Amino acid sequence: MEEEKLRILNDQHKTIGVAARSEIHAQGLWHETFHFWLLKKEHETVYLYFQLRSPAKKDFPSLFDITAAGHLLADEQPSDGLREIEEELGLSIPFKDLTYTGIIQDEIHLPSFIDREFCHIYLYMDQTEHMEVYLQKEEVAGLYRAKWLDSQQLLTGTCESIQIEGFEMAANGERREESREVRIQDFVPHEPAYYEHLFHAINQFLSQ
C-alpha cells in the first residue's frame, strides 16, 4: 500500500512541496490537519467530547484527544476531513453545519518524531437527544465527555484533575459505560497555545 502523500508548507502556510507522511514527521515539516470538536448542551451544561485513542495506535496509544481528527492529503481540502468524523465516530454531518474557527499552529516534539501542524479547527453542537455513535475500533477505543468549563481548567493548567464520563468498547464488542478521573498527562500533549486558541474560539461560538 502506497504511503499517504501530504502537502509540505513553510511556517507562513505557503505550500512548498509534497512528501510522504513518514518523511514529514521524521523531518518535522509543516503540514495540514482537520480537527473536529464536538459539543453538546444538556440542562444548561455544555459538554466537550474527547476520543480515547486505541491502545493499538502507534502514536499516543490510550490517550485522550480531539473528538475526531486526521491529516489532509496533498490533493484534499478541509471539507474532505469530514471522512474522519464518519470513519472514527460513525457520524454523518453536513460540512455546512460545522463552524469553522480558523487555523491553529501546533507542534509536538518527541524523541521519535516532530509533528508540526496547521490545524483547521471546526466546532459542532449536537442537537439530537441521543447520538448514534459507532467507533472505528482500530483508531478509537472510547468516547468521553467533560463539562466544558472543567476541560478548559484542566487543559490550561488551572486544576489538576477532572471527572469525565463516557463509554469504551470491550474486546467482545460490548459498550461499557465508564466514569474516570483524569489529569493532563492522560491527554495527547498539544501545546498550551493550541488550547488557549481553541477555548477562545469555543467561548465565541457559545456566545453567538
Q: pLDDT of 110-155, one tens digit each?
A: 888 899 999 999 999 999 988 899 999 999 999 999 999 999 999 9
Q: Kindly compute the dihedral angle of the four CA atoms of residues 4, 19, 106, 188, in this order, to the nearest 10 degrees.
A: 40
CB under 8 Å to 11, separation ≥6 — which residues?
30, 105
The amino acid that residue 139 corresponds to is: E
pLDDT at 3: 80
- The pairing of strands 68-71 and 30-42 is antiparallel
| Contact indicator for 70, 34 with CB cutoff of 8 Å | yes
Residue 10 in grid coordinates: 513553510
Under a CB-based contact definition with an 8 Å cutoff, are residues 194 and 106 in contact?
A: yes
Q: Please give the sequence-ordered ranges of beta strands (E in DSSP) within the chain, or none if there are none.
A: 5-9, 15-20, 30-42, 45-53, 64-65, 68-71, 99-109, 114-126, 140-147, 162-169, 175-182
Domain that holds residue 151: 5-206
Q: What CA–CA distance (Å, rounded) separates 193 from 204? A: 17
Residue 170 has pLDDT above 90, yes or no: no
Q: Are 16 and 27 in contact (CB under 8 A)?
A: no
* CA dist list (Å): 25 to 31, 58, 132: 9, 13, 34
Question: CATH number for the domain including 17?
Answer: 3.90.79.10
Among residues 3, 2, 7, 4, the alpha carbon closest in space to that of 117 is found at: 7
Distance CA 89, CA 123 (A): 15
Higher-pLDDT residue of 192 and 172 is 192
Instruction: Please give the tally of structural domains in the chain.
Output: 1
What per-residue confidence (pLDDT) applies to 37?
A: 98
